[in-house]
Amino acid sequence: MYRALRLVPAETAHEFALRLIQLAGAVPGGPAALRRALGPRDPALRVPALGLDFPTPLGLAAGFDKDARGFAALGALGFGFVEVGTLTALAQPGNPKPRLFRLMADRAIVNRMGFNNHGAAAAAARLRERRRDVIVGVNIGKSRAVPEDEAVADYVASARAVAGVADYVVVNVSSPNTPGLRDLQAVDRLKPLLTAVRETLDAAGGVPLLVKIAPDLADEDVDAIADLAVSLRLDGIIATNTTISREGLTAPAAQVAAAGAGGLSGPPLRERSLAVLGRLRVRAGDQLTLIAAGGIETADDAWERLAAGADLVQAYTAFVYGGPFWPRRVNAGLAARARRAGLDSVAGIERGV
């Protein structure tokens, strides 16, 4: 049935798959049964980060569970953490459909969803009822209807709504699908935004705060954000979001053109995301937790990111293409790599190799 979903439009398939996952999570004992069958239990996978104990460094990136509806079952499939969202302070429908496209030849996805969600407060209500058996991060972005000069207050409203229910919070200023959003990555605009959200989370008990950046930033801008994150006592950076580049694709040009504008994710993103990650680690040293995302398909890909300086890794597109048993395969591969390297845990990997 999973393979059959590829025959229907991408967003329809996504909604159906998420609904099945929600149903699995709603069945009494369902998540526990999935966790026993698929969850990471190998001690070689455990990683301490952000003041938390992750059962595996492999997490699900934001964008799959936009409204915090399926996180329990998703965590039970083998992810060490699930990042929900992107959430906005105001409920919004997102961009017009169609807005999600597969590029099968590249195992890639183009999306211009536009932060479709029912609002941070609605998601927070669901998260408030959860059992703490899966680490859940919350990704927040700017409401489309809010003018750019009110962006700080808008992010603060979302942060305040989720502060008591999130294990960590991510400020998303890097999606290409909300007009003007990426402009907030400029340090002079990013500093007051992150300062305000940091103060909000500190007032709520000190929830870890990260920022998610684009792969399309110039190297000097990556350095500037790393310096800013350290100076503001951020807990980490996620590298990276989707790209607006279409270089190196093997899909027919007509298919790429038909998909149109939006963020590209999957293997074509791998090289640049890896380069940004390595640059951040060199610049920030051990002062930040780094989460790698973008083009991670296999255990070897995940291992490469850990060796390049990531503390944790995330995937989205590979899960879409790989199916519900994909996390278990990656976890098994990571544990095997650790043992071949003579390590008790993947957390002991030597960085920069």
| Active-site annotation, residues | 175
Which residue type sits at 314? Q
- What is the distance between the alpha carbons of residues 107 and 318, in angstroms, rounded to a whole number? 8
Integer Cα distance of 144 and 160 in angstroms: 19
CA atoms within 13 A on the CB side of 7: 4
Q: Can you give 43-100 as a three-state secondary structure string?
A: HHHCEEECCEEECCCEEECCCCCCCCCCHHHHHHCCCCEEEEEEECCCCECCCCCCCE
Residues 6+ apart with CB under 8 A from 190: 173, 184, 211, 225, 228
Token pair in block for residue 47:
């990683």
3-state secondary structure of 140: strand
